[in-house]
Amino acid sequence: MRRSVGKLMFIQSRSLSFFLLLFLLTASSWLGHRASAQTLKNLEGGVNIFGQFSQSSNGNGVQDSPTDSLGVVASVRQSFHPWLGYEINYGYTRFSEHYSTTPFGVQNNVHEATGAYLLQGPTIPILGLQPFGAVGVGGLLFLPTTVGGQKYNQQWRVPLLYEVGVNYPIFTSHLGLRLQYRGLVYKTPDFNSAQLTTNTRRQTSEPSVGAYFRF
């Protein structure tokens, strides 16, 4: 009799352990799915084509007149609240710096890596536009080209980034068009050459248009 009761208790204990383990696995899977969904909530990826227009600089007896160009910027952004979000950008363009102290321009590839604090407003009724703004900092790498770079050294600059724009959903809330203006303020590049140094700051304007996908 005692053996039967002990055996029954052992079976019940094994069954309880099995169902407890099954419950924990199910709960962990559900929580993981919820966490993953929460992580992707309001996450966006976008690509924009921009026009690059940099101001001329004049200082220290040197004038720098950069050329205009087209470029591309890829962005990842996420909003946790309308007033709390972030944005990470990578951009690329190519243009030339023309200094008054040299007969040839300095052609360079410019790479941008920036991060910003993001604000997104509510969607405007009827128009369907969602305004946004951002401010941040990052790095600009001016990399002279092999042929047109006149053998100058590469140089980093730290820009202040600011953005304003609107998102316009098309067909679905997950896909839309993005119109924005981007501004970058930074020290004029001199490629570590005293002959090219203006000791000034300039602004680069980048009006852009593109598309985004929202998870």
Report the DSSP pairing between strands 160-170 and 172-187.
antiparallel
Residue 35 has pLDDT above 50, yes or no: no
Q: Minimum mean pLDDT among 25-29, 48-52, 89-93: which range?
A: 25-29
pLDDT attached to residue 117: 97
Percent of residues, the chain, with pLDDT higher than 90? 70
* pLDDT-wise least confident of 29-33, 99-103, 211-215: 29-33
Q: How much of the chain exceeds pLDDT 70, in percent?
A: 81
d(CA 133, CA 67): 27
Check pLDDT > 80 for residue 3: no
| Among 192, 204, 183, 166, residue whose Cα is nearest residue 46 | 166
In this predicted structure, which of 39-43, 122-126, 149-153 has the lowest mean pLDDT? 39-43
Residue 161 has pLDDT above 70, yes or no: yes
Decide if 50 contacts 70 (C-beta within 8 A). Answer: yes
Question: Quick one: average pLDDT of 161-169?
Answer: 97
Mean pLDDT computed over 165-173: 90
Q: Which H helix or E strand runs over 67?
A: none
75, burial (CB in 10 Å: exposed 0-12, middle 13-18, buried 19+): buried
pLDDT of residue 42: 81
List pLDDT tens digits, range 60-118.
999 999 999 999 999 999 999 888 999 999 999 999 999 999 999 999 999 999 999 99
Task: Look at 2-11, 37-46, 125-134 and tell me which has the smallest mean pLDDT.
Answer: 2-11
- If one counts every other C-beta atom within 10 angstroms of the C-beta of residue 104, the result is 11
More confident residue, 183 or 26: 183
Lowest mean pLDDT of 13-27, 32-46, 62-76, 186-200, name the range.
13-27
Rounded to an integer, what distance in angstroms lies between the CA atom of residue 203 and that of residue 208?
16
Asked if the model's pLDDT at residue 168 lies above 50, the reply is yes
pTM of the predicted protein model: 0.80
- Are 202 and 55 a contacting pair, CB within 8 Å? yes
* Span 148-159, average pLDDT: 94
CA nearest 112: which of 92, 95, 96, 137?
A: 92
| Predicted local distance difference test score (pLDDT) of residue 169 | 92
User: Residue 98: which region, alpha, beta or left (left: phi > 0; alpha: psi -120 to 50)?
Assistant: beta
